[in-house]
Structure 1
Amino acid sequence: MTRSRRQRFSLALTLLTAVSMLVGGAAVAAGPASATPSPPTTLGDEGGNPLLRDVLESTGRGYAAASVAVENARKRQAAYADELRQIEAQLDQLAPEVGEVAVSAYRIGRIGPLSALLGSASPDDFMDRAEGLDLIAQRDNSKLRRLHEARNRASRAKAAADAAVADEQRQLSVMAAQKEAAERALSLVGGAATEGFVNASSPVAAPAPRNRDGSLPAQSCNRDDPTTVGCLTPRALHALTETRRLGFDRYVSCYRAGGPFEHPKGRACDFSAQPGGFGGNATDGDKTYGNNLAAFLVRNADRLGILYVIWYRQIWFPATGWKAYSSAKGDPSSDHTNHVHLSLL
């Protein structure tokens, strides 16, 4: 190969290498900018005090059960009060009729019926009078029996109403004790009352199924989690479905293996405030999205069976409302400034 040909070959090789580097570099640089970001599947350690979570779970369940019991006691009171009104109206109707029986008994006296029979002019007249007296006795006994039964029903209804009132007071005491326990636990992570996130125009979710007495059934993690390869309880899946249906459809991750809290039990979901997954602190529109989501969950807490909600250094608990919430690490995951955490009963 002549010198000139070697020079031209070397120049071509250099140009080819340069072009390859430029093309390859451009492809690498363009790849992340054009590809959809892959959100993480977990948040890692979200922080929080294990004792706090345990207390909130136990007090939350106790508070919810007592709240249902109070509502049932008040329904029973209303039913018994209505029954008493009906019985009292019946007693008012019976009073004049019973009064007539009393007046008749006073006027005729014990000798009255006997005198009426002895004064019969004939055997047939005697039988007619006897039958008439028997009908009068049956009528009078029926009126007296109805009065007696009505009074007994009134007494039973009043006793049942009093028992319902006593049950309500007991359950209210339970709720107060659970609230106090939650307040003490929350004092470990700030605990000061906040205005929180409330929006009266938040959409209304369809209620989760309940038992006949209004309580929430115990459930296991036996439904496929559409956000992971794990499982959810039916109630958690319902909450997730309703939240997405009503417009909060950004990235969500629910089931997470390991740990002592609700994620491995299929009773918790983390809703990212950013469209592409969990990032840094949410700001501007992303924070507004999180605010609206937190407000939606709180408004529908009873319908969905929510245990607590955490968002942007604040925690909502049914017994306490919104409270300040801080964690040991202070990062976006621990402080919940990049996602709304939902735990369900």
Structure 2
Amino acid sequence: MTTPLRRLLTPALALVAGVAMVVAPAEGATAAPDAPAAEEDAPPALLRDVLEVAGRDYLQAKAKVDQSKKRQGELNGELRKVQARLDELAPQVGQIAAQSYRTGRLSVAAVLLSSSSSDSFIERVARLDQMNMVNNGKLTELDEAKEQVARAQAALDAELREQQKQLAIMAKRKGEADKALDLVGGNRLIGNGFVSATSPVAKAAPRTANGEWPNESCSKDDPTTSGCITPRTLNAYTEVKKAGFNRFVGCYRPGGPFEHPKGRACDWSLLNRGFASAKTQDQKLYGNNLAAFLIRNADRLGILYVIWYKQIWWPGSGWKSYSGASDHTDHVHMSML
């Protein structure tokens, strides 16, 4: 690796080295029969490491941005309501102030001196007390409305600052991934992204309360082997099947540092059994439609990247050409967060 490139990718690789660990295969677990070789089923080591770290950071930052936008909408709605109340109270308080300026505020002493009888005295005291209560109430409402506006505006400003911070993280991680993708022939593709608006909408995988993707272990039985997959991978597997993609698929595979032994990847074949490169229009269309479904629902399912037919898709960069160890013309590869 050249010195400039090493300097460029060192932060991502150092982070990988600090957190990566080899997940041991479940005892007695076996890979899907006729599965493609492990080394052909993932990007080269350098790209894989960058996508693993930059991809997770990018998607977590994106989740925070999405949550921030939602919160901003709520705060803007609250701000509009409080501002409307403030606009309603301001003229009323202005009238009270103008009246006090013209006539002066009535005092109890003035009432006593101007009362000609005990009945009128009691009546005027009651009226004065009521007037002062109304005026004080309006002033209090106005003060409270002003404080609510200030609090809502401060919260909105904080959300905007947080959003800008997360957008900066996304931009940085996107840059790292783009440079890594360039190493595997990652020229950006225009108009060839396989995303279809007619793809079914998948059931979203669970997130944390603040919208982030939780870390998950290989804790669910893999329907395709005797191994294990994560709950998020199982949800994606189930949703792909529900969408009508019922040809051969293999998920768990022991050994190696890729997503398969972590239960975070599946290979969707074009055949009913085994793997072979697309030879018919039907097989190519099946792969195109499957890739389109995954990409359309990537944010709902927690997709890390997809590889299909000499192309790789990553959330921050979209589709790019791919010339890794395998051209992936025989299956759609899906890697999960």
Which AA in structure 1 matches 2:205? A
Specify the structure having the higher radius of gyration (Cα): 1
For 1:266, the equivalent position in structure 2 comes to 263
For 1:165, the equivalent position in structure 2 comes to 160
Mapped partners of 2:230, 2:294: distance in 1? 17
Mapped partners of 1:272, 1:125: distance in 2? 95
Question: Once the 2 structures are TM-superposed, how far is the Cα of residue 218 of structure 1 from its aligned partner?
Answer: 2.0
The secondary structure found in structure 1 opposite 2:312 is strand
Relative distance call for 1:100 and 1:250 in structure 2 (3 A) is same
Deviating more after overlay: 236-245 vs 42-51: 42-51
Give 1:104-119 correspondences, 5 Å limit: 104-109=99-104, 113-119=108-114
Residue 201 of structure 1 is aligned with which of 194, 198, 201? 198
TM normalised by structure 2 equals 0.84
Relative distance call for 1:107 and 1:313 in structure 2 (3 A) is same
Deviating more after overlay: 87-96 vs 215-224: 87-96
Q: Is the 8 A contact 1:311 1:336 kept in 2?
A: yes
Question: Once the 2 structures are TM-superposed, how far is the Cα of residue 197 of structure 1 from its aligned partner?
Answer: 2.2
Which AA in structure 2 matches 1:132? R
Structure 1 residue ranges, 4+ long, deviating more than 6 angstroms after superposition: none
Deviations, residues 251-306 of structure 1 (Å, cap 9, x unaligned): 11111111111111100011112332113x32223222222211221111112111
Deviating more after overlay: 67-76 vs 106-115: 106-115
Higher relative contact order (CA 8 A, sep 6+): 2
Give 1:152-231 correspondences, 5 Å limit: 152-194=147-189, 195-231=192-228
Which AA in structure 2 matches 1:277? G
Relative distance call for 1:100 and 1:53 in structure 2 (3 A) is same
For 2:329, the equivalent position in structure 1 comes to 337
Unpaired segments ≥5 residues, structure 1: 1-37
Give 1:18-29 correspondences, 5 Å limit: none
Mapped partners of 1:241, 1:98: distance in 2? 62
Question: Number of aligned pairs?
Answer: 302
Q: Is the 8 A contact 2:194 2:291 kept in 1?
A: yes
The secondary structure found in structure 2 opposite 1:337 is coil
For 2:238, the equivalent position in structure 1 comes to 241
The secondary structure found in structure 2 opposite 1:92 is helix
Larger fraction in helix: 1
Which AA in structure 2 matches 1:200? A
Q: Is the 8 A contact 2:187 2:321 kept in 1?
A: yes
For 2:303, the equivalent position in structure 1 comes to 306
Which AA in structure 2 matches 1:282? A
Residue 99 of structure 1 is aligned with which of 94, 116, 121? 94
Q: Is the 8 A contact 2:224 2:249 kept in 1?
A: yes
Mapped partners of 1:122, 1:339: distance in 2? 100
Which AA in structure 2 matches 1:197? F
The secondary structure found in structure 1 opposite 2:61 is helix
For 1:149, the equivalent position in structure 2 comes to 144
Deviations, residues 128-153 of structure 1 (Å, cap 9, x unaligned): 43333222211111111111111111
Relative distance call for 1:340 and 1:145 in structure 2 (3 A) is same
Please say if 1:315 is aligned against 2:307: no
Mapped partners of 2:284, 2:70: distance in 1? 41
Question: Once the 2 structures are TM-superposed, how far is the Cα of residue 112 of structure 1 from its aligned partner?
Answer: 5.6
Q: Is the 8 A contact 2:106 2:128 kept in 1?
A: no
Relative distance call for 1:107 and 1:48 in structure 2 (3 A) is closer
Q: Is the 8 A contact 1:41 1:228 kept in 2?
A: no
Which AA in structure 1 matches 2:34? P
Deviating more after overlay: 292-301 vs 108-117: 108-117
Residue 283 of structure 1 is aligned with which of 279, 294, 301? 279
Mapped partners of 1:54, 1:276: distance in 2? 31
Relative distance call for 1:44 and 1:162 in structure 2 (3 A) is closer
Deviating more after overlay: 120-129 vs 230-239: 120-129
Deviations, residues 232-265 of structure 1 (Å, cap 9, x unaligned): 1111111111212222111111111111111111
Question: Once the 2 structures are TM-superposed, how far is the Cα of residue 39 of structure 1 from its aligned partner?
Answer: 4.5
Relative distance call for 1:62 and 1:215 in structure 2 (3 A) is same
For 1:51, the equivalent position in structure 2 comes to 46
Question: Once the 2 structures are TM-superposed, how far is the Cα of residue 123 of structure 1 from its aligned partner?
Answer: 4.8
Mapped partners of 1:186, 1:67: distance in 2? 20
TM normalised by structure 1 equals 0.82
Deviations, residues 6-37 of structure 1 (Å, cap 9, x unaligned): xxxxxxxxxxxxxxxxxxxxxxxxxxxxxxxx
Q: Is the 8 A contact 1:39 1:278 kept in 2?
A: no
